[in-house]
């Protein structure tokens, strides 16, 4: 079976949090001996920013960690999409693609004869509903969405006929525990500052507790405005800039605890969607403390897999507790890893994808059935 995937970027994870899951899925599909071809726009903004800030060599570094992965670049304005998918059995289009591409692949689907799925891993279904109107899902077999609440929104708005919940997960070949490393500090946070979607939350649940505790901490990420960098400096927090996603396990191994501070749209409008960060932390065995979010789908076991802090004061208390108690830290580390391995690996998500594809009859099979009935 040949699977063609259109991603925003496989090569770059600059401000592209989905890269971890997308890379892991491709690798697991390859392990099952599927033929997988990944296309991404030649001048996509993630790769463009990575190359501008760090150079072309850095953009190729991910291949050292994922030697079997390769992107095929296309020019959005001068591409024969039919040629790209001419022998595909399955086509999956990630939501960071242009509406024109989404429509074009739907228009030629019946002629070529492939199964066609849209993959949504963003909060725009509630935060930017007007953008969804730009997508033409004609002839799409369905959508893969990363939470039940998104599934319900798709169904209520009748954007697409069939919708399956397909959560993100950890690539446990790369994201795994190495807790015996000598520690460089107490707390590390990995995340992008972004568009004021969690500025107040980061001040309350990250910067203020670290400052009050006086612990050694470091923050990695991009798109930090001057006011954010100033706040980090005043709190005594070191800023490490962009961290390639594939190096996250190495960094986690050198710190004692991390925190998760989800963006406001996920907390207020999308309960049940934790984003990739908790999956990464638990897979790597680093004790995790979260600011409030509602695990409505029971993905994890709060209190066993991770701790929850109701406010900034409680966050400071729980950070201190984990740093002081080796027994608590080890318990969180072990239990988090167990839950990831049992429920949330890229391998398991590929099995889910296979089941979904088995539910869908290919256009060619449907046409053959019609011809036979006639």
> In which residue ranges of the chain is pLDDT below 70?
362-374
Sign of CA dihedral 42, 46, 49, 53: negative
DSSP, residue by residue, 110-128: HHHT-EEEEEE-SSHHHH-
pLDDT at residue number 56: 86
pLDDT at residue number 267: 86
pLDDT tens by residue, 245-269: 999 999 999 999 999 999 888 888 8
Task: Give CA–CA dist 329/257, Å, rounded.
Answer: 8
- For residue 88, CA distances in Å to 50, 116, 320, 362 come to 31, 10, 53, 11
**Please, where are the H alpha helices in 194-263?**
199-202, 208-213, 226-234, 248-252
For residue 85, the 8-state DSSP code is T
Q: Which fold has domain 185-343?
A: Rossmann fold (3.40.50)
| Closest to 145 (Cα-Cα) out of 106, 171, 118 | 118
Task: Give CA–CA dist 215/2, Å, rounded.
Answer: 51
Task: Give CA–CA dist 181/257, Å, rounded.
Answer: 13
pLDDT tens by residue, 225-243: 999 999 999 999 999 999 9
pLDDT at residue number 282: 98
Label the pairing between strands 217-220 and 237-239.
Answer: parallel
pLDDT at residue number 254: 98
Bridge partner list, 71: 38
Bridge partner list, 219: 189, 239
Specify whether the CB–CB gap between 309 and 291 falls below 8 A: yes
Specify whether the CB–CB gap between 5 and 26 falls below 8 A: yes
- H or E stretch at 272: none
First-to-final CA distance of the chain: 29
Task: Give CA–CA dist 31/25, Å, rounded.
Answer: 10
Bridge partner list, 5: 38, 92
Rg of the chain on CA atoms, in Å: 21
pTM of the model as a whole:
0.93
Residue 64: how many other CB atoms lie within 10 Å: 8
- Residue 112 phi/psi, 5-degree rounding, is -80, -40
Q: Which CATH superfamily is domain 2-169+346-373 in?
A: Glycogen Phosphorylase B; (3.40.50.2000)
Q: Would you state the structure tokens that stand for residue 342, as one six-digit string?
A: 């049992």
pLDDT at residue number 159: 94
| Closest to 222 (Cα-Cα) out of 190, 268, 181, 256 | 190
For residue 15, the 8-state DSSP code is T
Which residue has tokens 């993630």? 46
Q: Would you state the structure tokens that stand for residue 251, as one six-digit string?
A: 């960094």
Give CATH 3.40.50.2000 domain extents, the chain. Answer: 2-169+346-373, 185-343
């Amino acid at each position: 079976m040949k699977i063609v995937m259109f991603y925003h970027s496989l090569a770059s994870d600059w401000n592209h949090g989905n890269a971890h899951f997308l890379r892991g899925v491709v690798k697991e599909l390859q392990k099952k001996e599927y033929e997988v071809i990944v296309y991404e726009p030649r001048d996509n903004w993630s790769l463009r920013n990575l190359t501008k800030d760090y150079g072309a060599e850095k953009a190729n570094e991910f291949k050292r960690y994922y030697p079997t992965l390769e992107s095929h670049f296309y020019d959005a304005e001068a591409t024969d999409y039919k040629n790209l998918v001419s022998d595909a059995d399955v086509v999956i289009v990630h939501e960071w693609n242009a509406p024109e591409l989404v429509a074009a692949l739907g228009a030629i689907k019946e002629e070529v004869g492939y199964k066609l799925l849209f993959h949504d891993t963003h909060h725009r279904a509630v935060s930017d509903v007007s953008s969804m109107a730009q997508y033409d899902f004609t002839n799409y077999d369905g959508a893969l969405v990363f939470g039940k609440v998104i599934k319900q929104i798709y169904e209520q708005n009748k954007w697409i006929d069939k919708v399956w919940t397909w959560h993100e997960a950890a690539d446990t070949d790369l994201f795994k525990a190495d807790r015996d490393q000598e520690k460089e500090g107490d707390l590390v946070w990995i995340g992008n500052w972004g568009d004021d979607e969690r500025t107040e939350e980061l001040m309350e649940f990250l910067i203020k507790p670290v400052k009050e505790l006086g612990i050694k901490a470091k923050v990695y990420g991009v798109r930090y405005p001057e006011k954010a960098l100033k706040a980090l400096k005043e709190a005594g927090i070191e800023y490490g800039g962009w961290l390639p996603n594939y190096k996250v396990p190495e960094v986690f191994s050198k710190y004692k605890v991390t925190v998760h501070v989800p963006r406001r749209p996920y907390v207020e409008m999308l309960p049940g969607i934790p984003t990739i960060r908790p999956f990464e932390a638990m897979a790597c065995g680093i004790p995790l403390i979260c600011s409030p979010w509602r695990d409505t789908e029971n993905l994890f076991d709060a209190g066993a897999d991770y701790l929850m802090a109701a406010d900034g004061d409680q966050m400071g208390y729980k950070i201190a507790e984990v740093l002081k108690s080796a027994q608590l830290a080890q318990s969180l580390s072990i239990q988090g890893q167990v839950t990831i391995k049992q429920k949330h690996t890229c391998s398991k998500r590929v099995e889910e994808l296979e089941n979904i594809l088995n539910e869908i009859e290919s256009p060619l099979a449907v046409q053959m059935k019609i011809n036979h009935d006639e």
